[in-house]
Amino acid sequence: MIEKWITENANQFPMVILSAVVTYFAIIVYTRWVGLRSLSKMTAADFAMTVAVGSLFGATISSPTPTLFLGLVAIASLYAGQWSIAYLRRHSRRFGKWVDNEPLLLMRGSQIYDQNLQRANVTRGDLYGKLREANALDYDQVLAVVFETTGDVSVLRADESHRRIHPDFMNGVIDYVAEDSEPA
């Protein structure tokens, strides 16, 4: 019984290698057609696409089910879906709002937004870890911390000579109010 887990019929090796080469080549071709965005993680849909392609790649090359042809069709379908979502996001603001998460302000200066931390399922310990990762040594260096649409955390920091964030950089961030405007 354990032998089935460790060894396999040597006749299957050439098919695994052929499947890996063909599927890998197909992923490169699909990515060239659809664009590098297909493998990004700018949105939840992008991340899901990357995970799904990896999963199908592994399944296609490691077993006879799905067949090589069905695996290639399934991966092509994912790329077509990714392209369609990107197209609709570019051409419909409403669709983009429906599909995309919005960035969330976790911290501004020394003020930590505990409600937003909870909303993002981030702890203060996670936040402090990201501050350390960004080499922030003091609250005075922190302009803002944003939980991005991808789940990444961006730390915007500055030295004493530059203490403002351009409003464009915070466009669409939940709970961010420009320094020059009144709070809502």
Average pLDDT of 165-177?
78
pLDDT in tens, 46-76: 888 889 999 999 999 988 888 999 999 999 9
Q: Helices 13-34 & 44-62, crossing angle to 10 degrees?
A: 160
Reply yes or no on whether the pLDDT at 169 is more than 70: yes
pLDDT, residue 7, reads: 67
pLDDT in tens, 75-90: 999 999 989 988 998 8
pLDDT, residue 70, reads: 94
Reply yes or no on whether the pLDDT at 107 is more than 90: yes
| CA atoms of 86 and 84, how far apart (whole Å) | 5
Residues 132 and 72 in one domain: no
Distances (CA, A) of 149 to 43, 69, 109: 6, 34, 21
| DSSP one-letter string for 156-173 | EE--TT-----GGGGTT-
When the pLDDT of each residue in the chain is averaged and rounded to a whole number, the result is 85
**In this structure, what CATH number is given to the domain that contains residue 140?**
3.30.240.20
| Residue 179 placed within a domain | no
Residues 131 and 81 in one domain: no
Give the domain extent around 62: 2-98
Reply yes or no on whether the pLDDT at 98 is more than 90: no
Residues 93 and 108 in one domain: no
pLDDT, residue 184, reads: 44
